[in-house]
Structure 1
């Protein structure tokens, strides 16, 4: 009796692939190998086909959720939004970019999960021992985590910034090393342009704090220095009148949220006394209102003949010379 038998095994189950192949080919060897030649390839093809269809359906669903068609994308409705309505047309661009970025993350996660599971199922069908592969993948993942930790940090920070809507296209922000208007927000890099026209590319993982001047409301602050001999009550009344006139005129009237307020003496230095007034305005409009208030207030102070700070001479009006 030889230790190796060349006779192929017999088919036992009449409903198996073995019996069906034997009836078609009359070959016992092919019938005994039917599991490898027919059953397993069919299962592998089915696994890959199901994975492809699931991924396609998931990506189409994400596309439908991220396409607002002029309205709020459905994907963003459960999330908090801090975008000011004053952005106008830029608001839709901001929402579209935010939805597109979050959608790309979801697509990547879906593709990784579906194809990863399909790969594991295919290896299981081929009889491959998955334990060493999983252990090796864990070691490679740890090595990549240490080597690309800055990249992972940038991506995670970008995802949370998108979900929390910390800033977006059109916002005026201060991120520490750079400040300006946001032009693009990505998962790894935020792009902003400063007042000089310089474009800054800031890694999301390096942003430790963000000062956003375009959310909720803003405050226009105007500090006006006057001399020591100036009548503070007179200056306060004058600034109150000027602020009311400026904020009541267009185009500033539509920007003002609350009436202006003269707070009084803000600072005393050897050269001057500084009077402060504030106005609550729409986000992003504080600088325009500030410039208008400062120009009108300086002109009114000069016309009233109020003493300027030491070392600074206002041109005297004809009334003050008489």
Structure 2
């Protein structure tokens, strides 16, 4: 007696439709003979492999770009970094070692901005490519991202303002580390320059943190050269001609004596009588062009020498109200 015969459906033995195409489906079916695994190879192997290649490519491009930026912003042997060569530099050479530190910080700050921009662009494009591989419609996502970006821009407009102001300040080299600046609200020496905040220290030692977006105007006392203004008051009974001669002689002699002569760029100029007031008497003025940042030291030194010479010549200062004149 013959048992039941199992009839095999010929359709079940047929390979999946994708086998006719050259690709992962054919390869997987030839390796395993599994129809389901071959039909699902597009999602199990092809897309993950493409996504992995996109991520690896983004990491490689980002790494190469960051290395290039580091190379362009590296300062060696006191030379100007390659990134800063096309940009205008306002820093005076007289800053010495501070100049190299200023260049290095400026280059590093600009480099960090470029690195952030490169990372944002590379990873943003990689993310969009990954979504495309997954079959996601990018149109609504881009529209939503635009709306969210506008909302964030309105909410963080002060932060964006500070950031953009810091970028332009760096590119234009308005001031840097070691400069003495007047920002309106604070006056002092620049200790650090960032993309959002500039740090100043005033003569009293107070540290001021000034937002770059709030700086409407900057007075820099350390660019190119400075002018030391020497004002010395004398009494009404003094001989103005004699005082002018002494002022010219003392300042000219002091300009030839080190270390004061090292700070002077030009010979002193005597301007004579600057003003006449009831409280200050007659004010004599002399000016001299000096190295940036050295005007205050030069003013103090010259003023002390001139006042000593006036005292030796019998030229007294103005009499303060309420005090009797000094005995001859």
CA RMSD of aligned residues (A): 2.1
Aligned-partner SS, 1:173: strand
Provide the rounded CA distance (Å) in 1 between the counterparts of 2:232 and 2:20: 98
Residue range with higher mean Cα deviation, 197-206 or 109-118: 197-206
Aligned-partner SS, 1:266: strand
Correspondence 1:274 to 2:279: no
| Aligned partner (choices 238, 254, 261) of residue 262 of structure 2 | 254
Aligned-partner SS, 1:163: helix
Cross-structure match for 2:25: 18
Residue 137 of structure 1, CA deviation: 1.0
Provide the rounded CA distance (Å) in 1 between the counterparts of 2:175 and 2:325: 42
Deviation per CA, 1:90-124: give whole Å up to 9, x if none: 22222211111111111111110000000000000
Deviation per CA, 1:163-213: give whole Å up to 9, x if none: 111111111111111111111111111111111111111111111111111
Deviation per CA, 1:205-249: give whole Å up to 9, x if none: 111111111110000001122223333222211111011011111
Asked if the contact 2:19/2:29 (under 8 Å) is kept, the reply is no
Q: 1:244 to 1:157 in 2, by over 3 A?
A: same
Cross-structure match for 1:65: 72
Residue 309 of structure 1, CA deviation: 2.0
Correspondence 1:297 to 2:312: no
Provide the rounded CA distance (Å) in 2 between the counterparts of 1:244 and 1:315: 30
Aligned-partner SS, 1:284: coil
Asked if the contact 2:271/2:285 (under 8 Å) is kept, the reply is yes
| Aligned partner (choices 117, 121, 139) of residue 147 of structure 2 | 139
| Aligned partner (choices 22, 37, 44) of residue 30 of structure 1 | 37
Residue range with higher mean Cα deviation, 259-268 or 303-312: 303-312
Residue 19 of structure 1, CA deviation: 1.8
Aligned-partner SS, 1:11: helix
Residue 55 of structure 1, CA deviation: 0.4
**Rg larger in structure:** 2
Asked if the contact 1:308/1:314 (under 8 Å) is kept, the reply is no
Residue 8 of structure 1, CA deviation: 8.0
Cross-structure match for 2:233: 225
Correspondence 1:110 to 2:118: yes
- Equivalenced residue count is 313
Aligned-partner SS, 1:68: coil
Provide the rounded CA distance (Å) in 1 between the counterparts of 2:70 and 2:29: 49
Residue 37 of structure 1, CA deviation: 2.1
Q: 1:269 to 1:105 in 2, by over 3 A?
A: same
Q: Which stretches in structure 1 are left out of the alignment for 5+ residues?
A: none
Cross-structure match for 1:265: 273
Q: 1:257 to 1:204 in 2, by over 3 A?
A: same
Provide the rounded CA distance (Å) in 2 between the counterparts of 1:314 and 1:261: 32
| Aligned partner (choices 180, 183, 187) of residue 179 of structure 1 | 187
Cross-structure match for 2:208: 200
| Aligned partner (choices 212, 225, 234) of residue 220 of structure 2 | 212
